[in-house]
Structure formats: C-alpha cells, structure tokens
Amino acid sequence: MTWNSPAEFFAMGGYALYVWGSFGVTALALLMEPFLVRHRRSAILRSLRRERLAEELDQQ
C-alpha cells in the first residue's frame, strides 16, 4: 500500500489540486449526465401522458 494515513492519501504527494480536480470533475460530469437524461425522459413521458389524457377526454 502506498499510503500511510488518510491525510497522505488526500494530499496526493502535493498534487492534490490536479488529481482531485481531475477525478472530482469527471465524477461530477458522469453523475450529472444520466440525471439530465432521466430528466429528459420524464419530460417526454409527462407530455405523452397528457396527450393521452386529452385524447380520452375528447372521446367522452
């Protein structure tokens, strides 16, 4: 194991800003994207349901 303590791990041998800046932004981006896609899906589903309801009301 390379690390003797958690502090040493987070310090990344003096490269903390660069290493955590890279991994942090990547993690954030890869978490945000599926969230945005899910949002897009629920938006279209909502409008599809509304349309269906409107059609049913028309028929009555």
Question: Given the rule CB under 8 A, which residues bind other proteins?
Answer: 1-3, 9, 12-15, 17-19, 21-23, 25-26, 29-30, 33-34, 37-38, 40-41, 44-45, 47-49, 51-52
Cβ contact 12:19 at 8 Å: yes
Which residue, 41 or 59, is less far from other proteins as judged by CB? Answer: 41
> Nearest distance from residue 2's CB to other proteins, in Å?
6
Express the helix, strand and coil content of the chain in percent, nearest 5 each: 90, 0, 10
Which residue, 29 or 57, is less far from other proteins as judged by CB? Answer: 29
CA 60/CA 55 separation, integer angstroms: 9
